[in-house]
Amino acid sequence: MGIKNLHKLLRKWENVIQERNIQDFAGKKIAIDISILVYQIVIAIRNTGTDLVNTNGDITSHLLGIFNKTISMLEKGIYPVYVFDGKPPNMKNSILKSRREQRKKAKLKMKQADNKEDKIKYFKRSVVVTKKQLNECSQLIQLMGIPVVNAPQEADSQCAQLAKDGLVYGVSTEDMDILTFGSPRIIRNLSSKKKEIIQIDLEKILKKLELNYLQFIDLCILLGCDYCTTIPGIGMKKAYQLIKQFGSIETFIESLNETDIKKEYENLNKSLVPENYNYRNTSNYFQNPIVKDSKQINLQWTEPDYDKILEFMVSQFGFNKSKIQKGIARLRRAYNSLNKNNKQIPHYIC
DNA sequence: ACTCTGATTCGAGACGCG
DNA sequence: TGAATCAGAGT
DNA sequence: CGCGTCC
């Protein structure tokens, strides 16, 4: 997932990757790709080798994680927007297929594992987050008064669109291709207790690397993304070098017809452009993914329905009542102080 | 020396009790 | 699933 | 703080 080595490449420039404190995001609206978050949560809870399961045998880890995470974000003064995936685009088929195979392999290895450590390792790797689980998350989130956006295709590109149109300040994700989709900024490790929070602004990248947005997309395609193969022999260094020299993948490939350039590059690294190298479609997709129009989206944070949350978590999913009540108390406090601060600062940005 | 590539390893939640 | 790091190979 | 529990 994401753009291969983009983070590593960006480290070569000063001040492109910025360290941030959680307080910097107080009062800000942040879009969150929920499926990645749920995966992280469920995998993390698998540390012990089991899922949280209710009396029906259904997994409940995702609900606990989303419940806690949402409360803690509100306590920090952050306004989260959760974005759900729709149908994956065809271009992603090959990636999805290989992931399914990976999971299959992991399941097999889990069964074959003879020690506990390995069993847990492959147990984690074979995580599948179901539609049903995501629907349950959506219900809980809405009971908590948090807005939900259902993307027609990928949550990624929808998050980027929200940020581009100024409906949110930025996108919290680990996936660097949010920037390729044109989000003005990415926020990594936002809710991590161990890792430093990092912010990367698209404008800073373009300025420091001296690229325009289209060239940045081409750079990402050369580095390697989910939608397109790469050119063998071209890694971090050459990708950047080629974009700087030729201005685009298109021009680079055209230049290969000129014998001297062709010789230069073939002698240098035997790099060959693969058959069916669909960099054009990929670039188009990054520029114009299928997303919901921001004009049709009205983000609103409303008072949580505390009673229904209790009913949902305790009666329906078997969580411990007093624990959920504690959470709800925190939620109530967070919501009230959020509202208060909001009134004091009428023109908070995103 | 530089760059790409592949293998490997680790860690990814939140809480509270003792 | 990725990200960081290391070893190895190719130029 | 480390470790086990949460369901």
What local confidence, expressed as pLDDT, does residue A119 receive?
A: 84
Q: Give residue A299's region: left, alpha or beta (phi > 0; psi -120 to 50).
A: beta
pLDDT for residue A193: 83
> Is residue A165 a contact partner of residue A90, using CB atoms and an 8 Å limit?
no
Domains, in order of start, for chain A: 6-207 (3.40.50.1010), 210-287 (1.10.150.20)
Q: Note the helical H segments in A225-320.
A: 236-246, 249-255, 259-269, 279-287, 306-310
State residue A76's pLDDT score.
Answer: 94
Side-by-side strand order, sheet with A79-84:
A17-20, A197-201, A185-188, A170-172, A29-33, A79-84, A148-150
pLDDT band at residue A348 using 50, 70 and 90 as cut-offs:
low
Q: What single letter denotes the amino acid at residue A218?
A: D
The answer on pLDDT for A279 being more than 80 is yes
User: How far is the C-alpha of A343 from the C-alpha of A340, rounded, in Å?
Assistant: 5
Q: Give the mean pLDDT of A324-334.
A: 96
pLDDT band at A187 (very low <50, low <70, confident <90, very high): very high
Which nucleotides in chain B lie closer than 7 A to a protein CB? Answer: 2-5, 11-16
- Residues A220-243, mean pLDDT to the nearest whole number: 92
pLDDT, mean of residues A279-300: 96
In chain C, which nucleotides are within 7 Å of a protein Cβ? 1-4, 10-11
**Distance between the alpha carbon (CA) of A49 and the C1' atom of D4, Å:** 12
Q: Quickly give A5 CA vs B2 C1' distance in Å.
A: 17
- Categorize the per-residue pLDDT at A345 as very low, low, confident or very high, splitting at 50, 70 and 90: low
Higher pLDDT, A296 or A125: A296
Q: What is the pLDDT of residue A274?
A: 86
Average pLDDT over residues A52-61: 93
At residue A184, what is the residue type? P
Q: Can you list the positions of beta strands (E) in chain A?
A: 17-20, 29-33, 79-84, 148-150, 170-172, 185-188, 197-201
With b meaning 16 or more CB within 10 Å and e meaning fewer, what string describes A165-174?
Answer: eebbbbbbbb
Inter-residue contact A15 to A242 (CB < 8 Å): no
pLDDT of residue A198: 93
Per-residue flag: A99 CB under 7 A of strand C: yes
Which residues, listed in sequence order, are joined to residue A172 by a DSSP beta bridge?
A32, A187
Q: What is the pLDDT of residues A91-137, one digit of tens each?
A: 888 778 878 888 888 888 888 887 888 888 888 888 889 999 999 99
Q: Calculate what percentage of chain A has a pLDDT beyond 90.
A: 71
Q: Write down the pTM of the prediction.
A: 0.94
Q: How far is CA A336 from CA A184, A252, A303, A339, in A?
A: 30, 57, 9, 5
Contacts of A36 (CB under 8 A, 6+ apart): A173, A174, A175
pLDDT at A144: 98
Lookup: nucleotide whose C1' is closest to A324 CA? D6
Distance CA A297, CA A328 (A): 28
Whether the beta carbon of A267 falls within 7 A of nucleic chain C: the reply is yes
- CA A151 to C1' B16, in angstroms, rounded, equals 38
> What is the token pair recorded at A156?
């990624």
Q: Detail the DSSP E strand segments found in A293-349.
A: none
Q: Is A154 exposed, middle or buried (0-12, 13-18, 19+ CB in 10 A)?
A: buried
Least trusted range by pLDDT, from A130-134, A227-231, A326-330: A227-231
Tell whether the model's pLDDT for residue A20 goes beyond 60. yes
- Six-digit token string for A45: 């809870």
Q: Which amino acid is at A216?
A: F
User: What are the percentages of helix, strand and coil residues in chain A, rounded to 5?
Assistant: 55, 10, 35
Q: How confident is the model at residue A270 (pLDDT cuts 50, 70, 90)?
A: low
> Is residue A300 pLDDT above 60, yes or no?
yes
- Is residue A32's pLDDT more than 90? yes
Q: What is the pLDDT of residues A301-312, one digit of tens each?
A: 999 999 999 999
Determine the Cα–Cα distance for residues A255 and A131; give it in Å rounded to an integer.
47
Task: State the Cα angle at A78 between A76 and A84, rounded to 5°.
Answer: 130
- First-residue to last-residue Cα distance in chain A: 28
- How crowded is the C-beta side of A166, counted as CA atoms within 13 Å? 2
